[in-house]
Structure 1
Amino acid sequence: MSYAIVGFGKIGQALAHAFARKNIDVTVASRRSPEELAPQARAIGPTVTAGALQEALKADIIFLAVLFDQHAAVAKALPNWDGKTIIDVTNAFGVAPEDLDGLPSSAFVAKAFTGAKLVKGFNHLGAAKLATDPVIEGGHRVVFLSSDDEDAVPAIDALARELGFAPVKLGKLSEGGALVHARGQVWGPLIFQDLFKKQQ
């Protein structure tokens, strides 16, 4: 399985730290050139490689870590997304519900990525928390996962565990997933909640 992070701002870099801690290879890309990203990528760890967007999009699992209003531009980079799984890390805070066709933000994002399987996840923690080791004495930091593609969730669940997190499945995007979606000027009730699951 191959991994990429599209977007290399605070959230993208935080995710890269998570991969580096576990020595898992990941390609990072953004609107900046690979040459511009390379020093930051190297500083995070040897398994983090800066690449062009088209190179990053060859990955099987892609973290979408751009600003919400940039997702459509990323989606246009491929004619179809068959065989790809997108982890939507975006938050649509400040976007009016009517601008999302009344859909949960991730369902709206999914429409742009024709053929992809989309999982909402890793979006409820701020960058500073996301960047720190999720393995805390006695437990693991929780990440929430939701998707309308149920068969996409197990792979993301396994990746979250490999990265040291404790994944909690919330079901479909319009059901439990609504707990971690922003709507207009309102954050979902689980956004910014720093929760831990005790080791069994």
Structure 2
Amino acid sequence: MERLLVLVRHGQSEWNLKNLFTGWKNPNLTEQGVEEAKAAGKQLKELGLSFDMAFTSDLTRAQNTLALIQEQLGQENLPVTKDQKLNERDYGDLTGMNKDEARKQFGEEQVHIWRRSYDVPPPGGESLKMTAERTLPYYKAEILPKVLEGNRVIVAAHGNSLRSIIMELEGLSEEEILQRELGTGKPVIYRLDENGKILSVEDLASA
């Protein structure tokens, strides 16, 4: 029985391009983001992969990325579950602010702490730890059991919600997960054993 889990960060969004803190805001994909999503679908198809079900967040950029991947796979009718527990980390008061402007206003060190510490949230927002506290229970209750039943599952979501899942899957420390970069539109393919442990992992960002 194959236990397949593919995680893919959405393609470049309009706010990624403008270097803005995005969080729960809902910009769409750029032309580059659309092409990244299509390329992800083509890569998966070339590997001979297909899926039984999909999960995505409540945000347009992730949903559209998934839809473009489905088109490339010829799986437009794939059952899709959307849930805000897979949403990007909420950046609170930083949302919509240019990252360079934020550094000028709050200082380079403070912005770095907000962006790259595990448990220090920006004002009014979420830390990675807080993001994991909503994403991981959902992963364990809704996604992982489907994989362990033998379903081939794809999850299209966001840098930080996916980091939370990867931290659990790969057994990474708080420091290690903060160093983990996920390319936009670059699938990570996991094959798991009956206990949810990794048999193999392939990051298509390095393919």
Answer yes or no: same fold by TM over 0.5. Answer: no
TM-score w.r.t. length of structure 1: 0.32
TM-score w.r.t. length of structure 2: 0.31
Q: Tell which has more relative contact order, 1 or 2 (C-alpha 8 A, sep 6+).
A: 2
